[in-house]
Structures are given as structure tokens and as C-alpha cells.
Structure 1
Amino acid sequence: MGKFNIIKSEIEGVFTVEPTVFEDERGYFMETYNENDFKAEGIDLTFVQDNQSKSSKGVLRGLHFQYTQPQGKLVRVIKGEVFDVGVDLRKDSPTYGKWMGEILSEENKKQLFIPKGFAHGFLVLSDEAEFVYKCTDFYKGDDEGGIQWNDPDIGIEWPLGDLKEEDLILSEKDKLLKPMKDTPTDFYMEDE
């Protein structure tokens, strides 16, 4: 049995990673990333930055992307539960404008890889969540773009549960984001 079960999604380049978890009465152990194992699966990535955030229930972050320094992200949750989403913004992709989402939690220990050329966001479903991710390029604040979280043309099916749209907590910046059709997204780097 390998250390990771890599599950490819319907959108090229997006995949879910299920690590092998070794549990006993003391707790558990798992690898969250192994360059050799990922390369053996045909996933050749270099990560240059790790990030961590903590958010309360109802916080929705996104949908964000970088224009000239797009980041691929390997994301996971170490506390709580989130619904994580990637939207394909690659103009030459057959799945342009399509989205993929996955529930990530401390219990299921799944990870999601969102490649360069995607908008990314997540909604916190638990009372609190800690979210960590590895990035393939450095964050550059003045390079960031975004699209509206509830763009009807994209149609993300956010699992709101007992939350109402008016209960969602967005940053002031995210409240101002526009739909994809009104946002320049022609940033995809041809050397990907």
C-alpha cells in the first residue's frame, strides 16, 4: 500500500490526496507530502511557501488568484472542517469556468491540490477551522485578483447547512469582487 491515494478529478490538474494514516492507542502518524511519492504519481511540483489560517464558522475566503505569479496550492485542514473550492480560469482548458469542491477536515485528513490558473476559496463549516497549505510560488499582494464567491455563471454549490447567505463572513475586499465575466482572468502562463 502506498503512502498516498491520489484521486484525479474531472478537471485536469486538480486532485484529492488521501494519506495513509497509521493509528494506534497513542494517536496517529501520517506523511502529508513526499516529493518522491508525488513524482512517482506524475506530480512534479516544487513548493516554496507554507501558509496557515484560522477562521470561524461562516467565514468564506475567496475566490482568489494571482495574475503574474499564479500559485498551485496543496491544501488541508488540521482543525475543524471546510468546503474547499477551485475554479478553472485557464482559457485554453476544456473545463474553463468549471468548479470542483471537496470537504476537508481534521477527521478525513484529505488534501486538495489546486493548480496554477485557478481561483481558490473555502467556506468554514465547523465552529472553527485551521487551514494550512503549500504554495508553488510566492504570494505577491499587488498581484492578487478574485471573482465573486456566488457568481451564478459558475454555480458553486456551497454546503451552507444551517448558515444563510447573509450570515456569511467575507472580507471587505471579497465583498467587492465581481463575477467572472466582469473580471480579467487572462493570466494563464503558457509555460505550465
Structure 2
Amino acid sequence: MSIVYSKIPEVLQIEPQVFADDRGFFFEAYNYQKFSIETGIVTNFVQDNHSCSKQNVLRGLHYQIQQPQGKLIRAVVGTIFDVAVDIRKSSPTFGKCVGFELSAKNKRLLWIPPGFAHGFLVLSEIAEVLYKTTDYYAPQSDRTILWNDPDLAIDWPLTTPPILSAKDQAGKPLKAAEIFD
């Protein structure tokens, strides 16, 4: 695997070693030993999530105020633009965001540690996204930051208005959000 560091050092893009031939391909999407040694991140994943969304669906920016989740994300069908926002007040990169294209074709994974809001936009006709989390889903502590908060100025690659859930439409700007100290 190779690791691409982002402008937020804790957010990592991981490129697995893919073995391809005329039959197809094989790669290890996750290997605890390699992940922990090569990234320096020692964590236990406790939950796997799988979502399917159609083109222009924007999910996020989600986080949990208690039981914050680290996430290891990959697209297994289609293409997404995946975003992480640092919402740790004490962090030197507080309020900064990074975005990456993840696709079934490029097979890249994204590590987003606890303390970040996460969201993605579906660029392909459909996308299926798998992600491992370091803590369990806690609906009572689930929060949403407004996807188009002007202070974040996320450069979403939109060609039409996004399709949003009621929860995502009601997100709060970062300035008004309940976040980590």
C-alpha cells in the first residue's frame, strides 16, 4: 500500500497494491497489521457500513459529538467525491477540509480519524460506499454541519443542485455547531 498525506496530516488517502491480469484483479482492502504498521494508526474497527446512492446525492457533513468515529472509506461501485472537515477546536487545522475522489476504478481508501465531519457527493450514476468505523453509531449524538457552509467553502464538483435528506438540509454552520474542544 502507498499512503498519500493530505493538507490535514491525519487524513490519509491509501492506495492498495492491486494485482490485475486478464481474469480481473485482487487486492487487500484492509489488513490490520499492514494498516497499523504503515500508517502508524492502531485502532479497532467495530462496525461496517454500506450505502448505495444515486447520482447527485450528497450525504453529510456528519459526525458524532459523543462516540466519535474514525472511518476507513472506499467506493466499491461508482465514484464519489469524499470530504473530511476538521472540527476539533484545539487543532491547528480546525475548520479546514480536504476532498478526494474515490471510485471502484481507482480502489483508493480514505482514513478519516475521530474528530472530523464527513460527507460525500455521488458523481456516477450510482455509488456503493463501504466504510469501517472505530465506534458504534450513536443516533442521540449524531450531528450535521451544513454541506454548503460558506466559511468552509468546500469545492463540491456539482453540476446540478444536490439531492439532500431533510437531516442534511437542516445542518448547522460550523460556527453554530456543537463540536469537539
TM-score range, shorter chain: over 0.9
Match of 2:150 in 1: 152
Out of 174, 177, 180, the residue aligned to residue 180 of structure 1 is 174
- Partner Cα distance (1:91, 1:139) in 2: 23
Deviations 1:11-56 (A, max 9, x none): 1310000000000111000001111111212121210000000000
What letter matches 1:11 in structure 2?
I
- Partner Cα distance (1:73, 1:67) in 2: 15
Give the secondary structure class of the aligned counterpart of 1:108.
coil
Match of 1:79 in 2: 77
- Partner Cα distance (1:46, 1:6) in 2: 19
Deviations 1:131-181 (A, max 9, x none): 000000000111101100000001100011xx222xx11001111112111
Alignment gaps of 5+ in structure 2: none
User: Are residue 68 (structure 1) and residue 82 (structure 2) matched?
Assistant: no
Out of 34, 39, 55, the residue aligned to residue 37 of structure 1 is 34
Report the Cα offset of residue 184 of structure 1.
Answer: 1.5
- Partner Cα distance (1:65, 1:43) in 2: 20
Out of 120, 123, 126, the residue aligned to residue 125 of structure 1 is 123
User: Are residue 105 (structure 1) and residue 103 (structure 2) matched?
Assistant: yes
Match of 1:6 in 2: 3
Match of 1:171 in 2: 165
Alignment gaps of 5+ in structure 1: none
Give the TM-score of the pair, scaled to structure 1.
0.92
User: Are residue 142 (structure 1) and residue 136 (structure 2) matched?
Assistant: no
What letter matches 2:93 in structure 1?
T
- Partner Cα distance (2:28, 2:139) in 1: 31
Give the secondary structure class of the aligned counterpart of 2:82.
strand
CA RMSD, 1 decimal: 0.9
Match of 1:23 in 2: 20
Aligned length: 180
- Partner Cα distance (1:132, 1:153) in 2: 29
Q: Percent same amino acid at aligned positions?
A: 53
